[in-house]
Homo-oligomer: A and B are copies of this chain.
Amino acid sequence: MSRSNVLAVDAMGGDEAPAMVIAGLEIAAVRQPLAKFLIYGDETVIGPLVAKTKRLKAQSVLYHATETITGDMKPTIALRLRDSSMRRAIDAVLAGEAAGVISAGNTGALLALSKIVLKTLKGIDRPAMAAIGPSAKGDVVMLDLGLNVVYDARNLVEFALMGEIFAKVVLGLPAPSFGLLNIGSEEGKGDETLRSAAATLRDSPIGKQFYGFVEGHDIAAGTVDVVVTDGFTGNVALKTGEGALKLVGELLKKVFTSGPLARVGYVLARGGLQRLKEWLDPRRYNGAVLLGLNGVVVKSHGGTDAEGFAHAVDVALDMITHDFNQMIIEGLAALDQAILAPEVGSVSNV
């Protein structure tokens, strides 16, 4: 089995696991007939579910795992379970049996386990979490979303590089534009860390795609394809934007159920409203990705359904088939060569 199309799956994570996970894998298997899935979990439950599938059963291998990491389990406890479905799936990546892992389970445990087991990719100082969201001009990638509360300019540069390659692979953009999130677009705005990162990025091999500083409203406006920020700001921005969209959704629902006329109004505009709802549907954007580890790690939302899980599987398979990590390594090498260029030829630099 070639490693380049194999995804390890934690079947026990998620509110409706394992039924939701298996149903999601079946959808993904139909869409990606060349993909192979190594499924970890309680085989007495999963076995019959997989047996009932049309496509998945031929594209998967089932491995029995005796333990399950629950949603409220502390990462320190989760780390001790050697035979959990999540751990076994991550171990499969370490062993080279799969190129990536996906779980809809405990986020903290997945982060802790994958960092400890898989370790950081050579040349990357800190991994980052990325996700995709909607904007007026198409999908937007944002990172970091919460891993790095402490960070420096080099971390931001690495996040930018990883985000740019992620947008290439998952959004299919040939030369994604990216910006650093700040409180103003002028060069002097923000702190020294931001200004230093901006200076490095401007002179980097992807400098032509660097838009400069962007502000909060630029995220939904789609000013750039990739919004780069630290984990604290990114986490707050992501949740603030989601919260605002949710508020409008709830208010619109109230409007259209407020009386018989409004109900008829909804029916008449239903086509467009449904398309809008589908376009903003969180399931379409399911799958936060942990970038910068030795292996592809995708976290599906725990509350998603089979369709949402299948979307996260697509993201993982996109990264695997494009050999995402090899692209990162090459991008880093080019970056460091550009930064070190003035020193080329000096003995100390050999």
Smallest Cβ-Cβ distance to A240: which chain B residue: B216
Give every chain B residue within 8 A of A236 (Cβ-Cβ). Answer: 181, 183, 215-216, 229, 233, 236-237
Kindly report how many copies of this chain are found in the complex they form together.
2
Which segment of A153-161, A260-268, A323-331 sits at the interface?
A260-268
Chain A 253-280 interface residues, beta-carbon cutoff 8 Å to B: 254-256, 258-259, 261-262, 264-273, 275-276, 279-280
The interface bits of chain A over 220-251 (1 if a CB of B lies within 8 angstroms of the residue's CB, else 0) are 11000000010111011111111111111011
Chain A 78-126 interface residues, beta-carbon cutoff 8 Å to B: none
Give every chain B residue within 8 A of A268 (Cβ-Cβ). Answer: 261-262, 264-265, 268
Give the docked Cα–Cα distance between A247 and B215 (Å). Answer: 15
> Is A217 touching B240 in the complex (CB atoms < 8 A)?
yes
Whether A59 sits at the interface, judged by CB under 8 Å, is no
Chain A residues bordering chain B, tally (CB within 8 A): 59
Most chain B CB neighbours (cut-off 10 Å) among A216, A242, A275: A216
> Is A238 touching B216 in the complex (CB atoms < 8 A)?
yes
A191 to chain B, nearest CB (A): 6
> Is B220 touching A246 in the complex (CB atoms < 8 A)?
yes
Whether A199 sits at the interface, judged by CB under 8 Å, is no
Smallest Cβ-Cβ distance to A229: which chain B residue: B236
Give the docked Cα–Cα distance between A221 and B248 (Å). Answer: 11
Give every chain B residue within 8 A of A261 (Cβ-Cβ). Answer: 268-269, 271
Smallest Cβ-Cβ distance to A267: which chain B residue: B265
Give the docked Cα–Cα distance between A203 and B221 (Å). Answer: 42
Contact A221 B247, CB 8 Å, known A265-B266, A269-B265, A272-B258: yes
> Is A191 touching B150 in the complex (CB atoms < 8 A)?
yes
Whether A303 sits at the interface, judged by CB under 8 Å, is no
Smallest Cβ-Cβ distance to A237: which chain B residue: B240
Contact A276 B251, CB 8 Å, known A233-B236, A235-B216, A245-B244: yes
A109 to chain B, nearest CB (A): 15
Whether A134 sits at the interface, judged by CB under 8 Å, is yes
> Is B244 touching A241 in the complex (CB atoms < 8 A)?
yes
* 23 A-B pairs (CB sep. < 8 Å): A134-B247, A135-B247, A149-B183, A149-B190, A216-B236, A216-B238, A220-B240, A220-B243, A229-B236, A232-B233, A237-B240, A241-B243, A244-B244, A244-B245, A245-B248, A254-B272, A255-B275, A256-B272, A258-B271, A262-B272, A265-B268, A265-B269, A265-B270
Q: Identify 16 new A-B residue pairs, CB closer than 8 A, beyond the known A191-B232, A220-B246, A244-B245.
A: A146-B183, A149-B183, A149-B190, A183-B236, A216-B237, A216-B241, A219-B244, A221-B243, A221-B247, A236-B236, A236-B237, A237-B237, A248-B280, A256-B269, A262-B268, A265-B265
